[in-house]
Each structure stands twice: as C-alpha cells, then as structure tokens.
Structure 1
C-alpha cells in the first residue's frame, strides 16, 4: 500500500489488491509484493536456499504433528480388546480432540504474535514428546480423553502458524505453491500416520505406535531447537521499506522512471511534467544496507522475538483471544474460508472414523494394517491435487494480472478451484454408498482418492486467498478458520454414532455432502463479488490490522 505521504489516495486500494507488474519503456518489470526492506535480516531478503530450508523444517514439524493426531484410528480395534473401550468412547475422544484443535489456536496465537513463531514451535514439540510417553502408558478412559485434548490443543498451531510463517518469508506470487506444499504435507502425513500405525500395531502392538512417536519427537526437538530460525520481523530503526507502489488509478500513467527517482507523467501533452509526489516503482528490492549487521547463528536462534516498543499495539493481550470471533462475524472472506475448510475437513474426519469402525467388521474384516492401507488412496489423491494446484495457481495469477495491466486481485486464484469441485461429491458418494452397501473395497478406495484430489486444491487455494487478502491479520483470521473447521468435526463426530443408528451411514454422508455443496457454491459468489466484499470490509480490516503487534510497518499486501 502506498504511504499516506506519497500523494496518492491509498484508500482506493481494497485490501489484497496489489500491482505485480509495471509496463516501462524497456519492457515489463515485475514488482515484489509485499515490499521488502533494506535490512539483510528481513526474511523477505533471505537467500532462496535459506527460505526453503526454513519451510522444509516447518513441513517436517507439520508432518509429525499431523501423524500424531491421526495415528490412533488403526489402533482402536486392539485397544478395545485390551482396555475395553466402546465405539462411542473412541468417537467421543476423537471429537474431544477436534474441539481442542479449535480452542488451542484461540489461546496460543496471541503468544505467537507477541513473542514470535519459534518459541511456540519449540514448546509444542516438547509437549508432544511428553504426551507420546503418556499415550504409550495409557490405561483408562481419562487417559484417553486427556491425551487427545492436550496433544490437539498444542497441535492446533500446525493449522495456523505455518501460513503466518509462509507470509513472513515468501512473496504474493510464491504463496500458492508454498501453501499447497503445506496442505499436501499436512494431508499426506494425516493419511501416512494411520497407514504406518496399522502395521506397527499389528507387528509390535498398539503401544509401540506411541513409543515410536517418542523417538521421532525427540529428534524433532533437536531439529527445531537448532535448525528453525525465527521469521517474525521486527525492523531496526535504520531499516527502510522499499518504495511503495502507487495507487491503481495512477498505474496507467506510469511509463518512465527518471534517474532522480521521479516519475514522468506521459498522459500530458507535449511537455513532460515530473510528478514528485508519485514515487518510482522498483522491480527489485532496495540494495541491502551494509551498515546493518547480520545476525549471528545464535542470535537467529533466540528463544523469543518480542515486538519492538514503537510498534506495540494498543490492544490488550487478552483481547487477541476474541478478536478472531469479531473478524469471523464481520469479514465475509474469513467466514467463507472457515465454512469451506470446516465442511471439507469435517466430512473427511467422518470418513476416517467410519472407516475405522466399519472396515474391521463384516463383510470386510480388515486387520489394523489393512485399515491403515486404506489411507494409501487418500495419499495418492492429495499428491495428484497438490502437483496440479501449486504451479497452476501461481502461474495463473501472473498470467491474469498481465491481462489487467499488472494489477492482481486475490479473486484471480479462485478460478483455479472450479475444475476440482466435482471431485468432492463424486468421491464422497462412492465412499459412502460403497461402505454402506458392503461393496468391494476398491470402490471405497477410489472414492477416497477422488475426494482428496478435490480437497487439496480447494483447501490450499482458499487459505492462500485469505493470506493474499488480509495478510496483516492472517494470524487471528486463521484462528477463526480453525475454530469453525474443528467445530464442524466436533459436531459431526459427537453426533455420528446416534446419527448413523437413526438414518444409516449413507444418508449421514449425503446430508453432510448437501451442506458441503451449498457452501462450495459460494466460490461463484466470491469470484464475482469478492472484491466488493473486500472494499466494504476495508475499514474493519485496517482497524483490526492497526491493533496487531505490528511487524512490517505499512505492509497491507
């Protein structure tokens, strides 16, 4: 966004609308959004290898957390034999975990905003290690419930803080791929965990599923402690932001950049008039300021990164816990993203729990390892969806922006959702009808694969749309999304057993699928009127952004 002193009316920019490309006399110049500073410690200025190493470590952490949350389902059958848990108790424990996933980020994200990403990544990993030991020694229903609640409470960070990390490090034209990688890792590990757990439970006993988690989380503590760098950026006083981008209404006037940094207005007649109030665009970041010292390795591994005093928010710390609820109720894009994410994940969770209770019974009589293998088609599905979506969405936004004089609107990404929408009802119906009627397992497997081909692109694109539109409040926005996402799962799983008893599995899934189709039809609404919604909610967004613990001042990209 242009600064207020640039002489440009910045209020004409709806949140998320940016200029990605400028036409100059020498050709098209690509504009990096958000604008980096001249500080070598700014994560936007990190070398590419360092950005990808950081993302790789985050993805490793996400994979472990997703595996830990979802590994229990193949252990249910042997756990029932040893400890006598009923199906209803197991479903309730799963639902309790879903509820904790929703509440956890509501409590934890204010700490992420205030003290940085790194301390919460590390604390979460240590707690998951401790809960792994507890899980391996489980004896009672109380143990089962508390293990699910505590592990999911802290695991909730994996559904919110990663997108914040991506927004810290990567530019707008890269976020589609990065968010797709994150969603793929999350879903792939979600399904890989039960697959591995099934074989471990059969070969070594169900308790060894958790002892192996003790080992991998022990490794993860070391990896996070000595490998992951903080991406929260608190600028130094001498760190200047790159030259801001002019208002869209001025973009067509910009043609040549003079050596003195002024822009020539070619819309005038014969006499070129220098407009000192409109800053020159840059296609690359400012040169790095050599007077700013680079942080040492140990400085980059500081346990906390407090917000600098000059960017402190007037908001109290406690108010951050209910700000997501305000955003959910007042900004349509956040409400829509929450509903989309919630219904798709909730339907997927219903598939997981029904599969774990139906497949061990007649006519399938699957063992724990065979139940685990049924997650293989889901892994294939998410991989196919991710391979298509990541490159497609980032290529598409550059292509469509060039056709709009370099202007990028976040709604451009939503067009990429349309080809994947039919996979949701087709996959869910094949799964539900197949399982309900005892059809061959291959039909159920195909349904799972098709459903996940659709889920991966839709989830990654709706999260990226939200990140592009409301970057400065992406933390609390994702908390709101996670809250609704887990509210769906909690409600569905708690109600699942009596619901199935009343109307049967097929009609349970059909009912949820009808709700999903109504919500997914909203993509058409946002493709057509999403910009209008952003314009009308701009004041609420800027007011909420102004209350954040500000990190990159003036960045509304």
Structure 2
C-alpha cells in the first residue's frame, strides 16, 4: 500500500500495472466480501466453468449443429428441401435475438436468474427458433460468467478451457448423435438433449452462484483508492489517498463480520441482487456506442463473415459427401466435425489435394477460422473495455448472427444457379477481404483503443458510494 496525496485515479484501460515486483497484481481487485465471486474456492470456479461450457456445448449443437442429421430430416419432409434449410439458417438468427434480450436483463437482475430461465426454455421450425432464443445465452452470458470469476492473468487460459470443453464436447456429441438417430430416428436427437440439459440444469442450480458483483471502477485496474483522515481512518471526504493493490502472494483477508459469510442458502437464491432497471438502457447505449469503435466494427464483420461461411457449409456438407464421388454413409457424417481442431492444426498441411478428406478438412478449417476470430474478439473486447464487457459481447455474438444469417440465407437460396463451389467462393471472398484488414488495425491498435475509451465515456474515475466495500481493506496486510 502506498500514500498518494491529492490523487484522482484515471482508468487507463489496457495499460494496467500487472506486476508489483515479482508478484502478479490481482485484477480486478477482489474485495474482502466472502460473497465476491472472485473469492470463490478454486474447485467451485472449475465447477462453474465446466457447467457453463457444457451448457454452451449443447446449445451450439442444438442451434447450429444440425448438419450431420439434416439429410434424414429432409427425407421426412419430401418436396420441401428449400424450406427445410430454414431449420439451420433461422436458429442462428434467433440465437442472436436471444443475446439482445438476455444480456441487458442479466446486467439488471443478475446472471443466475437469466441463465436458468433460458435453460428451461426448450410446426418444427418454430420450435427450433424458440429453443435458439434460449441457446443464445451460451454465446455471451456463458463466457461472461467465466470471465467474472477469474482474474485478468487467468482469463485467457480459462477462456481457452471454455472453448476447448465446448468444442470437444460438440465433437463427441456429433459422433454419438449420428448413430443414435440412425438407430432410433432424428426425433430422439431432441430427446437426448432434453435429458442432458435437464441434468446440466440441476447441477447448475446447485453450483452456479450469482457472479454479478458491484465493485468500484478503479478495481478494474487493480488499484483501489482509499480516502483517509489525518488519523488514518476511512472517511469519504478524506484528504489522504491510499492506493491498495492485492497480489497473488498477499491475497485478501475476508471480512465475514462486516459483510457476512457465504452460505449455500444465499448461493441457491434465484435472484440475489437488487435490480437496477436503468442498466437496460445503459447496456443498449453501450451497444450503440460500440459501432463507433473501428476495431469493434471490424471484429463484428469478421465474425459474421466466418460464421456465415460455417453455417453455409453446415447446411450443405451432408448432401455433398453423400453424393458422388464421395458416397459416404449417413453414419460417417458424424466424424466430419469430430476432429475440427486436430484436422486444422496437424493434418491440413499433410493432405494431398482432392482426396476424399479434402471436403472434411476444408470444412473444419473454416470452423477453426471462425473459432479463432471468436476467441480473439472476446478477449480483445473484454480486456480493452472491461467496464462494457457485457454490452460488447452482445455486439459480437448477436451482430455476427444477423450478418451470417444474411450471408448464408442469400447463398443457400442461390446454390441452384451458382452451385456449391460458387457459394463458398463468394463467402470466402468476403471473409478474406475482412481478414486482410487485420494488418492496418494491428499498427493503429493503441490509437483505436484510446478512441474507444473516449467513445465509451471512460474519463476520470468518479467517486462511488461503496464506502463499506473500500473500508474492508483497512484490516488487510500491506503487500510484501
């Protein structure tokens, strides 16, 4: 802890001090409150990570993983092939509409009630669209929960685990579901997910606690400003200012007498925060402001282009691979997506052109590109503009869905005239042009981030009324 006279702390987002000597500064600063989600035990954090990843896995497969069984579904609706395409394209649109509804509510009444309400939401096209409204929370709300329980130096790794569990689970489910539908019919595909989601819902109700926690803005920089009087006691208008940092070696002393202990009874409450309905307006305001930031606009377009290419391939690969010259069996289709990461990283450079694996590997390569764009975009948005993380996740996750819906729907309806290769070339050209824009954005990144801070009204730190939150640090030891 160090004394700084007459200091007004500025939020230098993206330029925080991560090291104090040889120790890592914990960012955001954990409070002395046992109910702070950052103070959850390690096992509980991993339980939450695994459960939201599992939820995301089933949501992604339900909403956009219809490809392997699509040919069987089409056979159930003879003469309606083009109409059946809506079973794939429209759910991607409704997933993003779900984000626009769910995230502002989550910023207002808390993550837990929105998460469980959407988990409970589960003509054929209409049913899938309603399900996709609920599945949308897996894209923005689920990673938001993960990011809120881990510190800045942990987030990249834990977000990687979130994506890894989601993608690995998706691959396994594709293999299992293809044999299940071949034996019992495609309607059991939905029954399987109803049972699986029921189990996830039960475990989530027990282990996933509320992660929305109101902390001062300066805690996002790892430097909490304490105002003291001449005697060293906390005072809102104190003239002496102390900057308090919490490091990995020091930790934080929990003040159970001041804040109360963490209990299972409180963790199981469906709504444990006082709603701030003005947050809904603020969230939509920040969503609109994001379009003024060039880097966020580019990431949105890039995500939308790659997702559109992926959705196009999901809707068409079963017909391509079951037709000459490949003639794969229906049960073989489940393996197309099972090795999506391994194929891209290891086998892509080793394969010869035009082998039977070429369509599979190209499909997985496009998915890997979308996955990388997704991870990089989320990490950039959350770490560059942490105070608006929820709003920016909505921009990326919802916006790319609207863009991909337009691209994939347009190309799917024109396949008869431009064929499969023409449709994929058109999508790839759009994605490639956007990818090249990464070069100038790399060099102008710091200036763009600074402009973004001004666009989001990130000015000088404002005094908060959380006197009780800050006063808890007085009993904490000074860092070594």
Aligned to 2:422: 507
Q: Provide the C-alpha distance between the structure 2 equivalents of 1:368 and 1:511, rounded to a whole number of angstroms.
A: 28
Residue 33 of structure 1 deviates from its aligned partner by: 1.0
CA contact (8 A) 1:70 1:191 kept: no
Q: Secondary structure at the match of 2:76?
A: helix
Q: 1:120 aligns with which of 114, 118, 121?
A: 114
Structure 1 residues 287, 495: closer, same or farther in 2, change over 3 A? Answer: same
2:475 match: none
Distance 1:17 1:321, change over 3 A: closer
2:256 aligned to which of 285, 290, 294: 290
Change (3 A) 1:243 1:79: closer
1:513 match: secondary structure: helix
The answer to whether the Cα contact below 8 Å between 2:341 and 2:368 also exists between their aligned partners in 1 is no
CA contact (8 A) 2:108 2:279 kept: no
Query: Closer, same or farther in 2 for the Cα pair 1:455/1:188, shift >3 Å?
Result: farther
Choose the corresponding residue for 1:78, options 55, 72, 86: 72
- The reply to whether residue 230 of structure 1 matches residue 197 of structure 2 is no
What is the DSSP-based 3-state SS (H/G/I as helix, E as strand, rest coil) of the residue aligned with 2:20? strand
Q: List per-residue Cα deviations over 1:62-111 (Å, max 9, x = no partner).
A: 12212222343233222232332532112223111111112111111111
Picking from 127, 131, 134, the partner of 1:154 is 134
Q: Give deviations 1:361-398, integer Å, cap 9, x for gaps.
A: 2333333212222112315347x69xxxxxxxxxxxxx
Which of the numbers 440, 451, 465 marks the counterpart of 1:525? 440
Aligned to 1:245: 223
For 1:294 and 1:246, locate their aligned partners in 2 and report how far apart those are by CA, in whole Å.
23
Which of 345, 349, 368 is matched with 2:330 structurally? 368
Match of 1:21 in 2: 19
Structure 1 residues 234 and 302: CA distance shift in structure 2, 3 A: farther
| Cα distance change of structure 1 residues 345 and 242 upon mapping to structure 2, 3 Å threshold | closer
> Does the alignment pair 1:461 with 2:428?
no
Q: CA deviation at 1:46?
A: 1.7
Q: Does 1:342 align with 2:304?
A: yes
Tell me whether 1:279 sits opposite 2:243 in the alignment.
yes
Call closer, same or farther: CA 1:153–1:546 in 2, change over 3 Å.
farther
Structure 2 residue matching 1:279: 3-state secondary structure: strand
* Residue in structure 2 matched with residue 402 of structure 1 by the alignment: none
Q: Which residue of 2 aligns with 1:488?
A: 403
Contact map agreement 1:473 1:545 (CA 8 A) in 2: no
Q: Write the mapping of 1:407-422 to structure 2, written as runs, cut at 5 A.
A: none
Partner residue in 1 for 2:473: none
1:261-289 CA-to-partner distances (Å, cap 9, x unmatched) read: 9xxxxxxxxxxxxx965635442443221
CA distance in 2 between counterparts of 1:165 and 1:77 reads: 36
Distance 1:58 1:277 in 2: 40
Q: Distance in 1 between matches of 2:134 and 2:60?
A: 12
Find the counterpart in structure 2 of residue 394 from structure 1: none
Name the structure 2 match of 1:323: 285
- Candidates 177, 185, 196, aligned match of 1:216: 196
- Is residue 443 of structure 1 aligned with residue 358 of structure 2? yes
1:33 match: secondary structure: coil
Counterpart in the other structure of 2:451: 536
SS in 1 for 2:256: coil
Give the 5 Å matches for 1:181-200. 181-200=161-180
Give the aligned partner of residue 44 of structure 1: 38
- The Cα RMSD (Å) is 3.6
1:354 corresponds to which of 310, 316, 340: 316
Per-residue displacement from partner, 1:198-253 (whole Å, max 9, x unpaired)?
Answer: 21121111111122222212222212222221211246x9xx96995399xxxxxx
After superposing the two structures, state which structure 1 stretch, 477-486 or 518-527, moved more. Answer: 518-527
| Alpha-carbon distance in 2 for matches of 1:164, 1:362 | 45
Shift of the 111–344 alpha-carbon distance from structure 1 to 2, 3 Å rule, reads: same
Could you state the TM-score of these two structures normalised by the residue count of structure 1?
0.72
8 Å contact 2:37–2:148 — kept in the other structure? yes
2:271 maps to which of 304, 324, 333: 304
Point out where structure 1 has 5 or more consecutive residues left out of the alignment.
Answer: 129-142, 248-259, 262-274, 386-422
Query: Alpha carbons of 1:450 and 1:21: their partners in 2 closer, same or farther (altered >3 Å)?
Result: same
Aligned length: 450
- Partner Cα distance (1:88, 1:544) in 2: 52
Gaps of 5+ in 2: 226-231, 234-238, 471-480
Structure 2 partner of 1:135:
none
